[in-house]
């Protein structure tokens, strides 16, 4: 029985079909434009298959509360064409199959916990530091959510004593996302991260903010492993820098696995999200 998966990113959609073993059999990717245009391409791909279920990991914020009137909608996003769009409703109108619905980062967390760098673990986190900072957690084998999905990228951090950047988050200024996501590099130095020397002090600042956030996630959620992805993690030495700062900040207050086992890069690379969507589909399949 085939299932479908969508990793709906703010800049790119990936659609795939997979089997019961969560293997990706066929896939397609295209830029995110308007909902109408983009869904047309989604339909063109999925119409070719007889699917038992579809899993969707979407950019957000999205409504994940099943009892809500706007369940399945994209909420108040800066991508105005998608604001209030009933994404899940549009999918259900086209395909009468069970559907799983969660955030893109939750999808990646699910993928990494099932088949990636945190394989077989029931309490893990996935965080991406890219254009923004997003994170999802698996707690006791299930995606963590409360009255909505987490927005863990917006926890507040202590400014580094030498970092005078005020942060780019329109809500908080210097929250984690405002201080550590990609645009903060452009904001400080007027150039893109990939053009900045790996020895630049900015990476120290960013590692410090990420380490603080990891300390908070650790004492709150007590995960067994944290998987770190996104463009900023591609900077040479970044993971080691974060490990050192995290260890110092946690100060052995709670036991965690050896830091090399605890803080790791993704195992599925760019496939974490789409794999998670396929897993979700298999989970909701009748």
- Residue in 42, 157, 228, 278 binding its own copies, rule: CB under 8 A: 157
The pair of three-digit structure tokens given for residue 29, joined into one six-digit string: 């990717």
Q: Residues 27-66 vs ligand ADP: string with x where CB under 6 A?
A: ----------------------------------------
Give residue for tokens 């007590």. Answer: 222
Of residues 167-206, which lie at the interface with ligand ADP (CB under 6 A)?
A: 182-183, 185, 192-194
By CB under 6 A, is residue 136 in contact with ligand ADP?
A: no
Give dist(CA 121, CA 139) in Å, integer.
10
Residue number, 38 or 102, with CB nearest to its own copies: 102
Strand-pair category, 12-18 with 133-139: unpaired
Q: Least distance from C-beta 170 to Zn ion, angstroms?
A: 8
Strand duo 225-229 + 263-264: pairing? parallel
Q: What's the closest the beta carbon of residue 183 comes to ligand ADP, in angstroms?
A: 6
- In the bound state with ligand ADP, the residue whose beta carbon lies nearer, of 128 and 282, is 128
Residue 10 is a binding residue for its own copies (CB under 8 A): no
Based on the shown chain and the rule CB under 6 A, indicate whether residue 232 belongs to the binding site for ligand ADP: yes
Name 18's bridge partners. Answer: 3, 24
Q: Of 82 and 217, which has the nearer Cβ to its own copies?
A: 217
d(CA 117, CA 112): 6
Q: Is 216 in the site for its own copies (CB under 8 A)?
A: yes
Q: Segment near its own copies (CB under 8 A), from 7-15, 46-54, 92-100, 141-149? A: 141-149
Residue 272 is classified by DSSP as: H
Whole-number Å distance between alpha carbons of 44 and 194: 36
Compute the distance between CA of residue 197 and CA of residue 58 in angstroms, rounded to an integer: 33
33 vs 38: CA distance, rounded Å: 6
Contact call for residue 258 and its own copies (CB under 8 A): no
Q: Please give the size of the binding site for its own copies, defined by CB under 8 A.
A: 42
3-state secondary structure of 191: coil
Site residues for Zn ion per CB under 5 A: 154, 169, 171-172, 175, 177
């Amino acid at each position: 029985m085939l299932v479908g998966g969508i990793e709906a990113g703010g800049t790119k959609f990936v659609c795939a079909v997979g089997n019961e073993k969560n293997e990706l059999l066929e896939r397609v990717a295209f830029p995110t434009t308007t909902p109408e245009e983009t869904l047309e391409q989604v339909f063109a791909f999925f119409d070719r298959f007889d699917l038992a279920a579809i899993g969707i990991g979407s950019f957000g914020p999205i409504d994940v509360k099943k009892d809500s009137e706007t369940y399945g909608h994209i909420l108040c996003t800066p991508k105005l064409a998608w604001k209030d769009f009933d994404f899940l409703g549009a999918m259900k109108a086209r395909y009468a199959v069970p559907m799983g619905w969660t955030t893109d980062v939750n999808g990646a967390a699910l993928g990494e916990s099932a088949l990636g760098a945190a394989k077989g673990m029931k309490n893990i986190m996935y965080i991406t530091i890219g254009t923004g900072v997003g994170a999802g957690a698996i707690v006791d084998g299930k995606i963590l959510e409360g009255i909505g999905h987490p927005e863990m990228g917006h926890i507040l951090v202590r400014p580094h004593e030498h970092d005078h950047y005020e942060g780019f988050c329109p809500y908080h200024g210097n929250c984690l996302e405002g201080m550590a996501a990609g645009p903060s590099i452009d904001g400080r130095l007027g150039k893109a991260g990939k053009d900045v020397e790996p020895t630049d002090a900015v990476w120290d600042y960013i590692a410090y903010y990420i380490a603080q956030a990891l300390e908070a996630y650790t004492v709150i959620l007590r995960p067994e492993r944290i998987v770190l992805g996104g463009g900023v993690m591609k900077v040479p030495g970044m993971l080691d820098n974060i490990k050192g700062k995290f260890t110092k900040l946690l100060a052995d207050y709670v036991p965690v696995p050896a830091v090399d086992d605890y803080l790791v890069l993704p195992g599925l690379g760019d496939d974490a999200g789409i794999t998670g969507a396929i897993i979700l589909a298999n989970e909701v399949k009748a």
